[in-house]
Amino acid sequence: MSCQLSRRELLKASTVAGAGALFLPRNILAQGESPNEKLDVALIGLGNQGGFQVGGMEQTRQNVVALCDVDDRMVNQRKAAEKFPGAKRFYDFRQMYDEMLEKIDAVCVSTPDHTHYHPAIFAIRAKKHVYLEKPMAHSVAECRIITEEAAKYGVATQLGCQRHTIPNMARVVELVKGGAIGEVREVYSWFGGDRGMPALPEKEATAPAELKWDLWLGPAADRPYAVSVVNGKADQPTYAPYNWRFWWDFGTGETGNWACHILDIPYWALDLKYPIKVAATGPEIDEQRTPKEMHCTFVYPERGDLPGVTLYWSHTKNPPCKAKYELKNEYEGGIKFGHMNNLFVGSKGMLLAGFDKHVLLPEENFADFKVPEPTIPKSPGFHREWIDACKGGTPATCNFSYSGPMAETAILGNTAYRAGRKSFDWDAEKMVAVDCPEVQAALKPEFKKGWAY
């Protein structure tokens, strides 16, 4: 099959997929049917986080019927064919859908960011359940469309924020919601590090025989496979299989890579959704590559009885809140500042939190604080949540209605930075960057010919 479908073919496929009863999910439980019935699942993308989906399907003992990846090395690395011997192998997800749509209940999409949208939205419109890796999609508009259409078609969803199940995160949420530090009007969130601005291509090269390069590019503009000098080593892959995340045509930088994990804590604790003001700053903009450092400000309105809050997101080696609040590098019990990634500033104190640790500050003010009994139940497992939701159970904790606005906000921060805008108002309902045409023009993706969808 050609690496591209014509616009007419794509639209026709979308129409057929959305034709209602013809492709209703087969796992919708009939009366008297066992909820333990296995789902028939397709795995799209086996590299990096794709291995997490392989493990999740093994652990929950689902029936994997298709393996789709453009790179044989990824499939071999995960021993996916050995683990799921009954699964049919594909390189092109469109061919997979053409042949097996009626045999699939759900899909897990773990491809590079620029190829999240097409397989995910096709599945949603075909009323197939979707597990999608963060940051959901490559553009603001893609995130919004995926979020809205998942709700429209009633499919079970889960965004790959698997740290959501770590018990400490639930305890942090309970402390904030319980008023331990009073009203929260300011949050600092960050990812420490300076990755970005990868080496430019040294020369064009022939792609490995195991890699279907044209399919890997997918909807992105065509470019040759290339190699670079990386850490003093010549002829290292410039883009695939990993460094794509630091090239704007394919990835979303460390903000796309980490914000959906880290912002999960304040989004959950403070019932955040869409900001009303956005600002972004950083080093000089590179048209091709993501930066080594970036800072965003998101202002959120009042939410019921909760006051408005300003969230500061940073990708940096030196979080700005460290000096501002004179935070120590280490705390009693071996808690190190480097382990943390969120600081909640409340009217009665502060809460420094990470995925697996937290501390109330100033420590002396909370010496006699009695920790409340847990109220948030333990997760049965991140994939199990989604599998149960697919079978008619409670929506998974990171379903798209919750996680979609969070992912969209992270990508909006990237968009603001690339547009060189330090501040603008955001009308989330209308998806309008007020009086900011340079941001507005960048909200929608540009797909190459044959991929308009």
The predicted pLDDT at position 338 comes to: 74
DSSP secondary structure, 8-46, as one string: HHHHHHHHHHTSGGGG--TTSPPTT--TTPPPEEEEE--
Q: Count of CB atoms within 10 A of residue 299's CB? A: 16
Place of tokens 């006699």: 368
The predicted pLDDT at position 36 comes to: 62
- Return d(Cα 327, Cα 265) in angstroms, integer: 20
Query: pTM for the whole thing?
Result: 0.91
The predicted pLDDT at position 386 comes to: 98
DSSP state of 272: -
Q: Where in the chain is the domain with CATH 3.30.360.10?
A: 164-194+252-366
- Return d(Cα 215, Cα 450) in angstroms, integer: 12
Superfamily of domain 164-194+252-366: Dihydrodipicolinate Reductase; domain 2 (3.30.360.10)
Q: Where in the chain is the domain with CATH 3.40.50.720?
A: 7-163+382-400
According to DSSP H, which parts of 314-441 are helical?
A: 320-324, 382-390, 400-419, 437-440
Tens digits of pLDDT across the chain (453 residues): 333 443 334 434 443 333 332 233 344 343 333 546 899 999 999 998 899 999 999 999 999 999 999 999 999 999 999 999 999 999 999 999 999 999 999 999 999 999 999 999 999 999 999 999 999 999 999 999 999 999 999 999 999 999 999 999 999 999 999 999 999 999 999 999 999 999 999 999 999 999 999 999 999 999 999 999 998 999 999 999 999 999 999 999 999 999 999 999 999 999 999 999 999 999 999 999 999 999 999 999 999 999 999 999 999 998 989 989 988 776 655 677 778 999 999 999 999 999 999 999 999 999 999 999 999 999 999 999 999 999 999 999 999 999 999 999 999 999 999 999 779 999 999 999 999 999 999 999 999 998 987
The predicted pLDDT at position 331 comes to: 63
The predicted pLDDT at position 110 comes to: 98
What the block records as the tokens of 312 is 């500061």
Q: For residue 423, what are the contacts with CB-CB under 8 A and spacing of at least 6? A: 277, 278, 279, 297
CATH code of the domain made up of 7-163+382-400 = 3.40.50.720
Look at residues 44, 148, 59, 45 and name the one whose alpha carbon lies nearest to residue 101. 44
Going 76 to 80 to 82 to 87, the CA torsion angle's sign is negative
The predicted pLDDT at position 334 comes to: 63
- Return d(Cα 7, Cα 17) in angstroms, integer: 15
Burial profile 399-421: b = 16 or more Cβ within 10 angstroms, e = fewer: bbebbbbbbbbbbbbbbbbbbeb
| Residue type (1 letter), 172 | V
CA distances from 452 to 59, 83, 251 (A): 37, 35, 19
The predicted pLDDT at position 222 comes to: 97
The predicted pLDDT at position 61 comes to: 96
DSSP state of 332: T
Look at residues 324, 316, 322 and name the one whose alpha carbon lies nearest to residue 336. 322
Name the 3-class secondary structure at 277.
Answer: strand
As a whole number of Å, the end-to-end CA separation of the chain is 18
The predicted pLDDT at position 312 comes to: 98
